[in-house]
Structure 1
């Protein structure tokens, strides 16, 4: 084999390798772009969570603030499914003190509803209002809120559950009741102090 043909073969191999690398990089960039602009479905468990702290996290995902391509004029937010909204927890005595105002637009059409009354009527409404009021009031808010799906319990339609691919972390750890611990967990828990030998348990 002559030196000219060897050089020609090496050049062809280099061209093939660089073309393959370029195609691979291009496909990777395209997939990243698809993943960035795709509408991802997220799930959020509202059990024992403050709806106003939860609203901060949910709004970021609904508006797409967590994405690198975010712009206020670009509609790039994701879908959010909130479950167990019946089990939300308001801090202190907010259930008795927080009041929701509504006006029909007619004379004498003003109503004031306490948070616990509204929650009894519709277990999803307190969470919905928390997210709605946390979002900036512009013309896109109504369309953005259509991507929020709230369910009072964990019964979510199958066609929605099939789409979910991510979970939003809860801002607060859910406390565990003492009667839910197994006997083995209780025995393994480290003892800080023990009863004196002459102490009588009654």
Structure 2
């Protein structure tokens, strides 16, 4: 998906760690992953800060096919581009872009958060996106750490068992003579 992955093995030892993040555990518009990925890609993570040198970590994001938008944003969010030629303005919704390339939304979220300078391309080469949890063996053997999610994804009501629902503490119990209007 990104550049040539065969060159990744050569630069892992000299550049930094190879970290993994699970894409199904976050909402895209929260961008908590994009901002944490940004600090790791540009080498400004507290562990990796090394001055003016180029020392960012490689970040592997898997399951990008399973990201989520809140509300009606799959139809409302529009991604635009222009070819530079007359009539070259293109717009696609998030749904159309996600069906065409399941990694594109996460890629654009991280790309837009990176600094607008010459190092942006180098930082983006350290980002490796995969739509499912299948990743190449040379990348998998070099994974060192899983980036923890900032908060747990809440369960839906249908995922709770009846015993858990019954054991949940009641905030208010209506009186016997209570009538709903």
Q: Which residue in the other structure is 2:129 paired with? A: 150
CA gap 1:61/1:113 in 2 versus in 1, 3 angstroms: same
Moved more, 175-184 or 86-95: 175-184
Aligned residue among 74, 77, 99 for 1:98: 77
Task: Kindly tell me the number of residue pairs found equivalent between the two proteins.
Answer: 163
- Contact preservation (8 Å) 2:15, 2:54: no
Aligned residue among 107, 111, 126 for 1:128: 107
- Is 1:44 aligned to residue 21 of structure 2? yes
- Contact preservation (8 Å) 2:64, 2:132: yes
Identify which of structures 1 and 2 has the higher relative contact order when contacts are C-alpha pairs closer than 8 Å and 6+ apart: 2
- For the residues of structure 1 that align with 2:60 and 2:47, how far apart are their CA atoms? 22
Q: Which residue in the other structure is 2:154 paired with? A: 175
CA-to-partner distance for each residue in 1:68-121, whole Å, 9 max, x for gaps? 563673211000000111111223322222211111222211101111111111
Unaligned runs of 5+ in 2: 1-13, 176-181
- For the residues of structure 1 that align with 2:98 and 2:59, how far apart are their CA atoms? 21
Q: Aligned ranges for residues 72-83 of structure 1 at < 5 Å? A: 73-83=52-62
Moved more, 97-106 or 127-136: 97-106
Which ranges of 4 or more aligned residues in structure 1 deviate by more than 6 Å? 191-194
- For the residues of structure 2 that align with 1:190 and 1:41, how far apart are their CA atoms? 43
Cα deviation, residue 170, structure 1: 1.6
Q: TM-score, normalised by structure 1?
A: 0.68
Asked which structure has the greater CA Rg, the reply is 1
CA RMSD of aligned residues (A): 2.7
- Is 1:64 aligned to residue 43 of structure 2? yes
CA gap 1:103/1:72 in 2 versus in 1, 3 angstroms: farther
- For the residues of structure 1 that align with 2:16 and 2:149, how far apart are their CA atoms? 21
CA gap 1:69/1:88 in 2 versus in 1, 3 angstroms: closer
Q: Which residue in the other structure is 2:140 paired with? A: 161
Q: TM-score, normalised by structure 2?
A: 0.75
Secondary structure class of the residue paired with 2:144: strand
- For the residues of structure 1 that align with 2:129 and 2:68, how far apart are their CA atoms? 16
Unaligned runs of 5+ in 1: 1-36, 197-202
More helix by share: 1
CA-to-partner distance for each residue in 1:25-56, whole Å, 9 max, x for gaps? xxxxxxxxxxxx75101110111412323211
